[in-house]
């Protein structure tokens, strides 16, 4: 995986986090409970945090560890987007319960990404 690919992924996830954050703050505020809105915001925050990490990885390392980058990219998709799906489907009264186990899997991949980043710093 090239630095450019990691940077593009980071920029894309960052842009989507801003769009989804605005969507949640304005359009969804009227249809979600405060608990649902808080969960949606958690998805947006984690997406943005890890988008920034991807930008760092793509900028700092000439040859990013592809497993690290993939752990963050797939982790963002599984963690944040499963939260979005759970919240939006629940708000419509048709909760997609199959997404529930996907969220912690995404969280695990994010943790693995951090472990790989730590390991990268330890062997510099």
Residue whose pair of structure tokens reads 């605005």 in the numeric block: 22
Q: Is 63 helix (H, G, I), strand (E, B) or coil?
A: coil
Distance between CA atoms of residues 108 and 91, nearest Å: 26
Burial class of residue 65, CB neighbours in 10 A (0-12, 13-18, 19+) = middle
Cβ–Cβ contacts within 10 Å for residue 14, how many?
A: 17
Percent of the chain with pLDDT over 90: 90
User: What integer best gives the mean pLDDT of the chain?
Assistant: 95
Q: What is the pLDDT of residue 62?
A: 85
Q: What is the pLDDT of residue 4?
A: 95
Q: What is the pLDDT of residue 80?
A: 98
């Amino acid at each position: 995986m090239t630095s450019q690919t990691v940077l593009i992924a980071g920029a894309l996830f960052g842009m989507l986090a801003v769009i989804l954050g605005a969507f949640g703050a304005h359009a969804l505020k009227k249809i979600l409970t405060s608990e649902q809105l808080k969960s949606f915001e958690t998805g947006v925050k984690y997406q943005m945090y890890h988008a920034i990490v991807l930008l760092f990885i793509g900028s700092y390392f000439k040859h990013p560890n592809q497993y690290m980058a993939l752990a963050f990219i797939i982790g963002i998709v599984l963690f944040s987007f499963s939260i979005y799906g759970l919240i939006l489907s629940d708000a419509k009264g048709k909760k997609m319960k199959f997404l529930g186990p996907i969220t912690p899997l995404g969280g695990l991949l994010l943790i693995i990404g951090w472990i790989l980043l730590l390991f990268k710093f330890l062997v510099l």
